[in-house]
């Protein structure tokens, strides 16, 4: 058995993989593969409509919200958001809590002034900045709710008088929250929603109407909404895997059900790390991520030995991001508790020998 702790693309539910593999050969008895059906046929239109409907249901979105499934991943949203909403003479506020927030602010600076209102770079992004002020004339405040590389997560969101935009790529649908408080949410699918190749965007109709410049159709959120996420050929298979994953999440008791499982998994791993002096978590306790657990070992030789042991036991994806080092264990929605238990047992065994 392989234990997949990859940070993304990441583990998918077995039920989703089974259903998707069947659809590759024969989609819903059509005799056609999901890879070759027309995207404007009733067969695929029903997929898109159900995926949008399930997203609204699971997130309990209000009537003013629109859901889109777009090309380009979250990185495209780094520039599509300011392209739509940041005027060349305006300002947008950015919270720099990690590598992705920093990159988003850099892209925004191409379209106007991107003001970094707070940053945790002074301590290698090991905490979430708090108590910052946002310019009252800002077009929006951009935050990253979970920092995949550094292992921090926002547990409290700023109460601001400007539109709130959130990159939720690595913790979308993993915990209950009021999704309606955000003017725009975007999330690359390849962690909690589905397969790589599609990005989910949730936005207020009223916010979308604030577009500040004429845009190419593919960059205009309004055009995508008008065309039901099918302005051009959508990433058909990736959207279908999203639908299957959303169905799976609903069967698990929705976001509340999966949040309880995620808390159980992360508590086991953090309790183990805190109990074993050989391993040292790097993140401030109050800002620890449930999705991406980052830690180091102060003995380089022991760290190499532990990484080799993980490889031997077929635990993949535990090596830390190249910019941070150490170890990173990702516990996305589809990660079974039993896999985390196998890892923590191995950690205890290793610590006992050292």
Catalytic residues: 100, 167, 191
Residues in a beta bridge with 281? 295
Residue closest to 268 by CA, chosen among 334, 349, 351, 339: 339
Alpha-carbon distance of 41 to 50, in angstroms, equals 14
What are the distances in angstroms from CA 38 to CA 3, 198, 282?
36, 18, 48
Alpha-carbon distance of 191 to 135, in angstroms, equals 33
Query: Angle at Cα 263 formed by Cα 190 and Cα 131, nearest 5°?
Result: 85
Alpha-carbon distance of 46 to 228, in angstroms, equals 12
The single residue listed with the structure tokens 């910052």 is 132
Q: Which residues contact 249 (CB under 8 A, 6 or more apart)?
A: 58, 173, 255, 258, 333
Strands (E), the chain: 3-4, 65-70, 91-96, 113-119, 141-144, 146-147, 152-153, 164-167, 184-188, 199-204, 280-281, 292-296, 315-316, 327-330
Residue closest to 331 by CA, chosen among 194, 191, 187: 191
**226 burial type by CB count under 10 A (0-12 exposed, 13-18 middle, 19+ buried):** exposed
The single residue listed with the structure tokens 């790390």 is 273
**305 burial type by CB count under 10 A (0-12 exposed, 13-18 middle, 19+ buried):** middle
Residues in a beta bridge with 200? 69, 187
């Amino acid at each position: 058995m392989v234990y997949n702790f990859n940070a993304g693309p990441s583990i998918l539910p077995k039920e989703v993989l089974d259903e998707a593999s069947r659809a590759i050969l024969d989609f819903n008895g059509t005799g056609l593969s999901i890879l070759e059906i027309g995207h404007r046929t009733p067969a695929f239109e029903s997929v898109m409509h159900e995926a949008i409907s399930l997203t609204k249901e699971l997130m309990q979105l209000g009537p003013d919200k629109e859901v889109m499934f777009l090309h380009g991943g979250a990185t495209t949203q780094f520039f599509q958001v300011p392209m739509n909403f940041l005027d060349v003479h305006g300002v947008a506020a950015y919270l720099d809590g990690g590598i992705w927030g920093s990159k988003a602010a850099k892209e925004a600076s191409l379209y106007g002034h991107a003001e970094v209102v707070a940053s945790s770079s002074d301590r290698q992004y090991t905490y979430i900045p708090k108590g910052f002020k946002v310019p009252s004339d800002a077009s929006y405040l951009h935050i990253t709710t979970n920092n995949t590389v550094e292992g921090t997560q926002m547990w409290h969101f700023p109460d601001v008088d400007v539109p709130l935009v959130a990159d939720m790529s690595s913790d979308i649908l993993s915990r209950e929250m009021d999704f309606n408080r955000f003017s725009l949410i975007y999330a690359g699918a390849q962690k909690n929603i589905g397969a790589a190749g599609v990005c989910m965007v949730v936005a207020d109709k009223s916010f979308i109407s604030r577009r500040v410049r004429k845009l190419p159709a593919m960059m205009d959120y309004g055009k995508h909404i008008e065309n039901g996420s099918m302005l051009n050929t959508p990433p058909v298979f990736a959207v279908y895997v999203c639908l299957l994953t959303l169905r799976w999440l609903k069967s698990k008791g929705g976001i509340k059900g999966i949040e309880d499982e995620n808390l159980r998994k992360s508590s086991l791993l953090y309790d183990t790390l805190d109990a074993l002096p050989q391993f040292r978590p790097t993140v401030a306790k109050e800002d620890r991520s449930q999705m991406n657990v980052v830690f180091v070992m102060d003995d380089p030789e022991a760290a190499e030995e532990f990484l080799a042991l993980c490889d031997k036991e077929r635990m993949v994806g535990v090596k830390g991001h190249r910019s941070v080092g150490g170890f990173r264990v990702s516990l996305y929605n589809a990660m079974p508790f039993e896999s985390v238990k196998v890892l923590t047992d191995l950690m205890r065994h290793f610590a006992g020998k050292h």
